[in-house]
Amino acid sequence: MKVISTSLKDVLLIEPTVFEDKRGFFMETYQKETYRELGIDSDFVQDNLSFSVRGTLRGLHYQLSHAQAKLVQVITGEIFDVTVDIRRDSPSFGQWTGFRLSDKNKRQIYIPEGFAHGFCVLSETAIFTYKCSDLYSPDCERGILWSDPVIGIDWPVENPVLSEKDRNYNYLKDIPPEHLPN
């Protein structure tokens, strides 16, 4: 397994070992001790599965008092996955990083607590899975407008398909400090 540091401290790009032959392939998508040795010590308690069509953009999401670390991976299709540092005391506050994840490259992203997360679908459809270190809590759910010009994410999609909620989030600068992680 190969772990690649990213421009955001503690966000990791993971390239699992894949065993391929004429029958197909096999890979471990998660093994607690292996990931712990890589510095990923999150206790994952919930798995989520998302199906989306081309052009769908989901995010930028985070939970406040029930913050979630995430381990994300695409099962079928291709997405552009984005992580934004929203830890108000961080030297990289408001900075983002993004990677293409697909069923072909089999990459994973580890996103620690204190980061907002979003993705857009580049293929016809995509099935996306992610582990979370805390349970989903609707009362703690927060978000940042996907098109915040100060963050300046270079999304590879025009006119994305958005939920009403994602369309109406505030810019990062307009979110009160008490609604952001330390």
pLDDT tens, N- to C-terminus, the chain (182 residues): 999 999 999 999 999 999 999 999 999 999 999 999 999 999 999 999 999 999 999 999 999 989 999 999 999 999 999 999 999 999 999 999 999 999 999 999 999 999 999 999 999 999 999 999 999 999 999 999 999 999 999 999 999 999 999 999 999 999 999 999 98
Supply the pTM of this predicted model. 0.95
171 is catalytic: no
| Separation CA 121–CA 78 (nearest Å) | 6
Annotated active-site residue in 35, 61, 62, 117: 61
Q: Which domains does the chain have, with CATH numbers?
A: 2-20+29-179 (2.60.120.10)
> Are residues 109 and 14 in contact, defined by beta-carbon separation less than 8 angstroms?
yes
Is 169 known to be catalytic? no
Backbone φ and ψ for 138, nearest 5 degrees, come out as -55, -35
State the catalytic residue, choosing from 35, 62, 130, 169.
130
Contact at 8 Å (CB) between 14 and 3?
Answer: yes
Handedness of CA 32, 126, 166, 164 (dihedral sign): negative
